[in-house]
Structure 1
Amino acid sequence: MKVLIINKSTSNGGAAVAAYRLFNALKESGTDVKMLVEESSEGFNQVESIAHSKKEKKKAFRRFVKERLCFLPYEKNKKVRFKFSPASSGIDISKHPLVQEADIIHLHWVNQGFLSLKSLEKLFKLNKKIVWTLHDMWPFTGGCHYAGDCENFMNGCGKCQFLRNSGKKDLSHRILQRKKKLWNTTQMNAVGCSQWMEKAAKDSTLLQNHPVINIPNPIDPSVFCSLDKQQCRQEFDLPQKKKLLLFGAANINDPRKGFKQLIQALEFMDVRHPHLVKELELVTFGDCKSQAINKLPYKWHKIDFISDQNKIANLYNCADAFALPSMEDNLPNTAMESLACGVPVVAFNTGGVPEMIKHKETGYLATANNCDDFGMGIYHLLYENNADYMKYATTAFAKEKYANNTVAKQYNELYTSLVS
């Protein structure tokens, strides 16, 4: 049984991180697995890249630009530019040797010029077994990656909130209808990383007649584990005697990640507990361009992007709590990483996040969109909880649910059921 994992990249975005981790987890379990991406970063061993030369990388960039230009006349405004993918531009990988030899094609995140609907049609015509891990909602919507409060994907899309001239038969409706015809040509097996995503997929008009199950993303507990806080803070030159709140994402400036809400929560804390200005400091990692953070009374430590997994784990171990103010999320890697390192998480009760956090046991679940409650959650984790108990509870929960061997076993059971 040969399995091929397909994703746009090896490191750009949460889906890429999760897909590569699954690739390694499956290898560790003895699965005959390969990974194919459009473009790979350095240091990712045994991954096959399509854009491995300067010429191919230029072609990949042109495909990306072509798709964005295709969407330009339809987009409501530039704020939604990357929230909708028409899948109008892509590359045909159906004749690639790894695709040809595979028994199971395992799709992950394939947008932004990598695989178009035509590319997927050619893949499906190979009559291979198809598994698709749902890192966002795109595989069962008319083009958006997250639908927010919209439920049009349940009955056919149209009247899309991301389109300039939306209507009953707008671009989202036409894409969904095309997807429906295409999806019905194959026996697709969808996997929601969270139960929330699984339910949304089952409710959708595109996947309601296809098998959909829930398997979480994996994490390596030998890398993401509890370490000596003093030594880790020394590595990053962070203060030893302060309370440190950590926040980070691949793109902090994405409104969906809730940075604005975090700022509001910290402002609430400053009003409610003004003395904390001498005790609490904020640490961020990832691309952060917001000027609002400079107006906060708390000292801010900005850590540049880190790609090394061991260093990321060390950074988590510097923190007393991790803030996850996402307005909508599936099964965020950052929350999983934090829990595995023994650091409790404060988050909004939304999306798949409640599946990761047991209120006041492994973190704090604030009422959705309630920034004051989020601020109260930060205070609770820093000053009112039993730190030793939470460290034990978070690491135990992460190992039980997300350890490499646990997740690999679930996927291998799925693969075996498809080929037997």
Structure 2
Amino acid sequence: MKVLHLSTFHRFGGAAIAASRLNQALNRAGVSSEMLVAETSIDEPAVISLAKTTWQKRWAKARFALDRLTFLPHERSRDVRFAFSPALIGTDISDHPLVQQADILHLHWTTFGFLSTRSLQKLFALQKPVIWTMHDMWAFTGGCHHSGPCERFQQYCGHCPFLRLPTPDDLSYQDWLRKQDAYENARLTPVGCSQWLANRARKSSLFRGLSVQSIPNPLDTSLFAPMPKTAARQELGLQTDKRLILFAAAKVSALGKGFSYFQQALQQLRQQLPQPEEVELLIFGAGDEQLLQELPFRYHFLGSLSNLRQIVAAYSAADLFVIPSLEENLPNTIMESMACGTPVVGFDVGGIPEMVQHQQTGYLVQYRSVDDLANGMHWILEQPKTGYEQLATNARNFVVAHYDEAVVAGQYIQLYEEVIPQGLSGDIRDNQRKP
């Protein structure tokens, strides 16, 4: 049994990281699993780059640029430039040896010039079983990655709020028609990383008649594990006698990450604390450090972290992790923080309430409430030692029980056995028994 994962990116962004982790988890579980990406960022076993030569790498970047250019005349504003993907530009990989050899094709995040809707249609025409792990809503909308309050994906899209000139037959409706055509007769099983996303997908007209599943992203909880706070802080060159609030994002300034809510809530938190000078901020991710200079607490900016040891140290050093995102599926950062024993404060949106149990593993904040975001941070900071230790233990235990890679790999293996042709499922189990 051979499984091939398809992902635009190798390790850039949460979807790519989740796909890479699943690929590793399946191999450790004894499944023959490989991952084909537009271009690799580092050498990694069982990860293959579509672009190998210099020319191919340039063409991959050109496809990304062309993909964005197709949306440029339609975009409502620059704020939504990367929130909608027409998927008119892509490459045909249906004849690629890895695709031909695979028993199951496992899609992840595939836009931005890697696979067009036409490319997907050619893959579906092979009549191989296809699992599609959805990391956002794009697979079942007319092009947006998150629809927000718009529910038109339940019918035919059109009148798209992301477009400059929304009409009944606008770009979103045309894209919806292309997807409808591509999905016809596909042996497709969509999988939401969260129950929230799976429930949204079940309402989509594009997935009518399909069995939408829900399986979370995996995490290696032996790597993401608590470090003693003092040791973690010393490793990062931080003072050991402060309370630390952590904020992390792939791009700190990204509109959907809610940094402005974080900033406003910190202003209120400073007024609530009897000794605000004892609290400092720890921030990592890409972005403009000038955004941080107006924050009301002293901050330590670590920039983008790629070293796993440093990432674990950052989570372990913090007293709490704040994620004020306005749109989320099942954030890797939440499970990483909780696995390291650090409680989480986040808005009640998307898949976050499936991860953060209110006042058990963190604090679930009323959506878009600056007041409650400040209250959540204050509540955790003011916990007595025994109360905080219980929060940390609960957080770690929840991740181990629900998101550990062995648990998630087992759920996917069960799904593979349900969708593959009769006679091949035994191969999966045989592989698992091999040393």
TM-score (norm 2): 0.95
Residue 295 of structure 2 is aligned to residue 286 of structure 1: no
1:40 maps to 2:48: no
- Do the aligned residues in 1 keep the contact of 2:266 with 2:296 (CA within 8 Å)? no
Secondary structure of 1:317's match?
Answer: helix
- Does the 8 Å contact 1:224/1:310 carry over to 2? no
Instruction: Name the residue aligned to 2:399.
Output: 398
Deviations 1:227-260 (A, max 9, x none): 1111111111111000000111111111111111
1:340–1:395 Cα contact (<8 Å) kept = yes
- 1:321 — aligned with what? 320
Equivalent residue runs for 1:73-152 within 5 Å: 73-152=73-152
* Matched-pair contact (CA < 8 Å) for 2:33–2:46: no
**Structure 1 residues 290, 233: CA separation in 2 closer, same or farther (over 3 Å shift)?**
closer
Q: Report the alpha carbon displacement of residue 308 of structure 1 after superposing the two structures with TM.
A: 2.3
Q: Distance in 1 between matches of 2:296 and 2:405?
A: 41
SS at match of 1:19: helix
| Secondary structure of the structure 2 residue equivalent to 1:392 | helix
Measure the CA separation in 2 of the matches of 1:184 and 1:239.
59
Contact 2:5–2:107 (Cα < 8 Å) also in 1: yes
User: How much does 1:20 deviate?
Assistant: 0.3
In the alignment, what sits opposite 1:207?
207
Which AA in structure 2 matches 1:396? Answer: N
Conserved? CA contact 2:244–2:320, under 8 Å: yes
Counterparts of residues 4-43 of structure 1 (less than 5 Å)? 4-43=4-43
Please state if 1:413 is matched with 2:414.
yes
Output one character per residue of 1:6-64: Cα deviation in whole Å (capped at 9) or x when no partner.
Answer: 10121110000000000011011001111111111114222110112321110001101
- Equivalent position of 1:158 in the other structure: 158
Q: Secondary structure at the match of 2:69?
A: helix
SS in 1 for 2:8: strand
| 2:336 partner letter | E
CA contact (8 A) 1:194 1:216 kept: yes
What secondary structure is seen at the aligned counterpart in 1 of 2:207?
coil
Q: Is the CA contact (8 Å cut-off) linking 1:136 and 1:330 kept in structure 2? A: yes
Opposite residue 14 of structure 1, the aligned amino acid is: G
- The match for 1:62 is 62
Which segment is superposed worse, 17-26 or 275-284? 275-284
Partner of 1:351: 350
Q: Does the 8 A contact of 2:79 with 2:255 survive in 1? A: no
What secondary structure sits across from 1:323 in the alignment?
Answer: strand
AA aligned to 1:30 is G
Q: Deviation digits for residues 186-214 of structure 1, max 9, x if unmatched?
A: 02100000000000000111113211011
**What SS does structure 1 have at the residue aligned with 2:206?**
coil
Q: Per the alignment, in what secondary structure is the counterpart of residue 133 of structure 1?
A: strand
Equivalent residues of 1:201, 1:208 under 8 A apart: no
Q: Any idea what SS the aligned residue of 1:206 has?
A: helix
Q: CA deviation at 1:295?
A: 1.6
TM superposition outliers: structure 1 runs of 4+ over 4 Å: none
For the 8 Å contact 2:2–2:32, the answer to whether it is kept is yes
Q: How does 1:178-257 map to 2 (within 5 A)?
A: 178-257=178-257
Residue 106 of structure 1 aligns to a residue in which SS? strand
Whether the 8 Å CA contact 2:118–2:182 is kept in 1: the answer is no
CA contact (8 A) 2:124 2:187 kept: no
CA contact (8 A) 1:187 1:210 kept: no
TM-score, length basis structure 1: 0.98
Q: Tell me the secondary structure at the aligned position of residue 395 of structure 1.
A: helix
Amino acid in the other structure paired with 1:307? S
SS of match in other structure, 1:89: coil
Q: Secondary structure at the match of 2:113?
A: coil
* Amino acid corresponding to residue 315 of structure 1 in structure 2: A
Match of residue 308 from structure 1: 307
Residue aligning to 2:427: none
In structure 2, C-alpha distance between the alignment counterparts of 1:271 and 1:288, rounded to whole Å: 27
Offset from partner CA, 1:356-378 (integer Å, 9 cap, x none): 01100100001000011011000
Instruction: Count residues with an aligned counterpart.
Output: 419
Q: Does the 8 Å contact 1:10/1:44 carry over to 2?
A: no
Quote the Cα distance in structure 2 between the aligned partners of 1:360 and 1:402: 20
- CA–CA distance in 1 between the matches of 2:353 and 2:115? 32
Deviations, residues 254-302 of structure 1 (Å, cap 9, x unaligned): 11111111101101112333x4431110111101316342122200100
CA drift of 1:418 comes to 0.8
Q: Is the CA contact 2:272–2:378 (under 8 Å) kept in the aligned structure 1?
A: no
Q: Which amino acid aligns with 1:77?
A: S
- Structure 2: which 5+ runs fail to align? 423-435
Instruction: Determine the C-alpha separation between the residues in 1 that align with 2:30 and 2:206.
Output: 33
Confirm whether residue 2 of structure 1 aligns to residue 2 of structure 2: yes
1:346 Cα offset (Å):
0.2
Mapped to 1, the partners of 2:232 and 2:59 lie a distance apart of 42
Deviations 1:138-161 (A, max 9, x none): 000000000011101111101111
What is the one-letter code of the residue matched to 2:323?
L
The answer on whether the counterparts of 1:277 and 1:297 sit within 8 Å (CA) in structure 2 is no
